[in-house]
Structure 1
Amino acid sequence: MKQFKIDINADVGEGIGNEAQLLPFISSCNIACGGHAGYLQTMKTVVKLAKLNSVKIGAHPSFPDKLNFGRVVMKLSNEALFESLTSQIENLQSVLKSEGLQLNHIKPHGALYNLATKDLETANVIIRVIKSLNAPIKLYAPCNSVLADLAIKEQIEVEFEAFADRNYNDDLSLVSRENSNAILHKNDVVLSHVLGIVKQGKVTSINGVEVLIKANTICVHGDTENALGILDYLNTNLIRNGIKII
């Protein structure tokens, strides 16, 4: 059987409080750092848990909008967005430094993530932020997105991300959370979805269209209903299907 490899990541530090349960089942995490959620204490708590479980740590910056959980596009100047994202990441880096750890990657959150996949100006701000950190920090972003393509052009290492618990449109955009079929909850459905992405490089859209996709890392959102059950099920069944979690 051919051996496949995949990283499993989760968005954490967002106020759910389930990190102690989730982290043993993932290989990288994206920690909210004050934009849409998270405070210094939550960052400290999750960083310590990640260290304990040998989980790679990423920053999960967003539009500075806790009221809307970073899921609404904010009209900010490029410089204001640059300063906010830089401040958020630096807050997490200060916690990492106190634990003797390094930042592995950056993954934008919510509306910022979705906007940067198609908007060059927003993507450019994120790339500027990463380059200003002067460290070999990776970017988690969807394949064939404006953000990923720009990062590659700027010689930033990209881990292509796909979502275990989200449905896709024909253009590989995520189905809006406002739709009832946006989120996948059932373990067997999620597994089938992930197996197609990892082993076949394909995902079936909500319209039944098979779309080509590349992924080095798969996300399960920490606030998805049954997130723990999904991760437990994936850990067992990915291995059974010849996929190693790295």
Structure 2
Amino acid sequence: MGRNVDLNCDLGEGYGTYRSGDDAALIALVSSANIACGYHAGDAHTMRAAVFACVEKGVAIGAHPGLPDPLGFGRREMQATAREVEDYMLHQVGALQAFARIAGGRVAHVKPHGALYHMAARRDDLAEAVVRAAKALDPRLAVVGPGGSALLRSAEAYGLRAIVEGFADRAYLADGSLAPRAMPGAVLDDPARALRQALDLLEQGRVKTADGQTALVRAETICIHGDTPGAAAFAAALRRGLEVNGYVVRAP
């Protein structure tokens, strides 16, 4: 019997006439989708389309709420109080829940996007704001984040399932954090290297870092980004590699 692994993807990041990535192709390849909820990217139409496609394909629906910064794609840190972050969460996740309800599905997990993900990983007050909003919306929601983070500690404290995430398509630093996107080589575009990193995360709990060192990083779910050029082909190669190595790709 194969070992189960969740392969998740950040997607639904188009807006209006702008399209980012091939959502339909990606949803057919992954087991969980983190759908942009309108602040950093995404709009009502992309949210609806992604949710209905997930229900059709049996893919777990996740909310991917970000900071209100579409110009910076939610990847720039902003000054925000815990109360503001809680309201951002309630607004975005609640909207995605509405689309999931009419599609006959439900939002299963929450994963903050970009800068909010990293801020909530470091700061107890923002982590608690994210988790408090998630629990208020649905106490069955899981929270996805980096291992050892304030975000996952807060999820456990509030009685929510905490899922440790690792990245197949991003380089790591020696402290276990992601290499900044401005750093050369921060985004991995070689599927073979990404597969090796995913297997190391799952089986060894460590990865080779951007500077050749080793960092202790474990993962229960593996993420890829849908806005990377060629993301669908990349996801297909990664999934094939996982299956060849005895894994069954399925939602947690």
Mapped partners of 1:234, 1:112: distance in 2: 27
Aligned to 1:35: 39
Aligned residues: 245
Superposed displacement of residue 225, structure 1 = 2.3
Secondary structure of 1:25's aligned partner:
coil
Q: Percent identity?
A: 36
**Which TM-score applies when normalising by structure 1?**
0.96
Mapped partners of 1:154, 1:69: distance in 2: 29
Superposed displacement of residue 64, structure 1 = 1.1
The letter for the 1-side match of 2:68 is P
Is the CA contact 2:36–2:42 (under 8 Å) kept in the aligned structure 1?
yes
Is the CA contact 2:168–2:223 (under 8 Å) kept in the aligned structure 1?
yes
Structure 1 residues not aligned, in runs of 5+: none
1:194 is aligned, of 195, 198, 202, to 198
Is the CA contact 1:31–1:58 (under 8 Å) kept in the aligned structure 2?
yes
Q: Counterparts of 1:128-167 in structure 2 under 5 Å?
A: 128-167=132-171
Aligned to 2:6: 7
Superposed displacement of residue 207, structure 1 = 2.2
Aligned to 1:209: 213
Is the CA contact 2:74–2:115 (under 8 Å) kept in the aligned structure 1?
yes
Superposed displacement of residue 135, structure 1 = 2.9
Aligned to 1:178: 182
The letter for the 1-side match of 2:107 is L
Report the RMSD for the aligned CA atoms in angstroms: 1.3
Mapped partners of 1:179, 1:193: distance in 2: 18
Mapped partners of 2:104, 2:2: distance in 1: 33
Mapped partners of 1:119, 1:78: distance in 2: 10
Confirm whether residue 98 of structure 1 aligns to residue 102 of structure 2: yes
Confirm whether residue 88 of structure 1 aligns to residue 88 of structure 2: no
Is the CA contact 1:177–1:183 (under 8 Å) kept in the aligned structure 2?
yes
The letter for the 2-side match of 1:188 is A
Confirm whether residue 66 of structure 1 aligns to residue 65 of structure 2: no
The letter for the 1-side match of 2:196 is S
